[in-house]
Amino acid sequence: MMQFRDLNAQYMHLKAKIDARIQEVIQDSNFIFGAHVVDLEQKLANYVGRKYCISCANGTDALQLVLMAWGVGAEDAVFTSDFTFIASAGCASIVGATPVFVDIDPETFNIDPDALEKAIVRVLAEGKLKPKVIIPVDLFGLPADYPRIERIAQKYGLRVLEDSAQGLGGAIDSKQACSFGDAATTSFFPSKPLGCYGDGGAIFVDDEALDAQLRSLRAQGRSPHDKYDNCIVGMNSRLDTLQAAILLEKLYAFSSFELDAVIQVAEWYTSLLQGKVKTPSMPRGYRSSWAQYTLVLEDAAQRELVKRALANDGIPSMVYYPRGLHQQNVFRMMNLSDAQFPVTTRMTRCVLSLPMHPYLRQDEVQNVSTSLLRSLS
């Protein structure tokens, strides 16, 4: 059976190098904050074009650490996309702030700047919460509309935190994902564009003081000068040396050929499916790292039919996401309705993501497309 994201094919390709790296770490036995961690942080910062990279335990902690560093808490409003993974909003709740969901653009699946501005104006008019942070999400690998979002942030005095857990490798013109806003975060969960062999995450910033504060916060709030003097309450959120060593090899593969390969796979899909079913659209000047290749079908019934037909041919497909955040049980006390989020609500019924990774062959893409088109005829 075909894999949705074939991590084993990748390992087989990189095996010698990854195995050697793992041996290196075990020989060194510097399992926490070893040299590989420092090396990886520098290479990642260079890759995305930002001054500082602070690695941490996962993409969820990365978001929370930034909100903690900015002192976001009770009475603060944090705006994020309604169509995303729970962590984009959970980070606000967990620091005591209130997440405010914003509907998406039907073409890009990303936060709709017009709806964002309306939500900020509404929160200001209500006068209960103070608008503090916008967390745009680079969904499925495609950067959000930062040129417009950053203008809105400036107009209303908000900070921007780019949730690029799915976005590493994307770009707008020559500006890389993880370089937008006041800070950016990513995840190295195995199935993300750059994944490790367990959990991992990173934060990217340009501000030296913020970098120092985040390094302290990820290590129990310890003072930069004295390991056993703690000035603030922090988290224990570290990237293991083993994961960093694996990521060094994977980053090399990602930047030298995997990103190009996955873009090629997307082009194969699009050329076979375009005009017959709604394929992903790409605004001019944007590059996606194709964390997902997501179609929009006509309705829930058609999606179910396609999903079943693919499964019958041994082809996995996934629904990202079956619920908007406004439909999550954990936020039921907000009493939000589907009518307030028409685009997200439609997408939860119609989207379907196809197998996607850099090691997919052209004949495999052909098979998926043939199976899919047959189910629609």
Ligand X SMILES: *Cc1c(COP(=O)(O)O)cnc(C)c1O
What residues line the site for ligand X (CB under 6 A)? 58-60, 84-85, 87-88, 137, 163, 165-166, 187, 189, 199, 201
Nearer to ligand X, 167 or 355 (CB): 167
Q: How far apart are CA 37 and CA 59, in angstroms?
A: 16
Q: Whole-number minimum distance, CB 191 to ligand X, in Å?
A: 8
Q: How many CB atoms lie under 10 A from the CB of residue 248?
A: 19
Nearer to ligand X, 10 or 60 (CB): 60
Residue nearest to ligand X (CB): 59
Report the run of H or E that residue 323 belongs to, with start and end: none
Nearer to ligand X, 170 or 273 (CB): 170
Q: Whole-number minimum distance, CB 117 to ligand X, in Å?
A: 22
Q: How many CB atoms lie under 10 A from the CB of residue 69?
A: 24
Q: How far apart are CA 338 and CA 325, in angstroms?
A: 11
Three-state DSSP at 295 gives strand
Q: How far apart are CA 75 and CA 71, in angstroms?
A: 12
Q: Whole-number minimum distance, CB 320 to ligand X, in Å?
A: 9
As to burial, measured by CB atoms within 10 angstroms (0-12 exposed, 13-18 middle, 19+ buried), residue 363 is exposed
Q: How far apart are CA 316 and CA 353, in angstroms?
A: 9
For 367, phi and psi rounded to 5 degrees? -65, -45
Nearer to ligand X, 79 or 268 (CB): 79
Q: Whole-number minimum distance, CB 187 to ligand X, in Å?
A: 3
Q: Whole-number minimum distance, CB 335 to ligand X, in Å?
A: 25
Nearer to ligand X, 170 or 201 (CB): 201
Q: How many CB atoms lie under 10 A from the CB of residue 357?
A: 21
Q: How far apart are CA 268 and CA 368, in angstroms?
A: 11
Q: How far apart are CA 174 and CA 256, in angstroms?
A: 17
Q: Whole-number minimum distance, CB 86 to ligand X, in Å?
A: 8
In sequence order, what are the residues at sequence separation of 6 or more whose Cβ sits closer than 8 angstroms to the Cβ of residue 315? Answer: 2, 354, 355, 367, 368, 371
Q: Whole-number minimum distance, CB 88 to ligand X, in Å?
A: 5
Nearer to ligand X, 98 or 187 (CB): 187
Nearer to ligand X, 34 or 195 (CB): 195
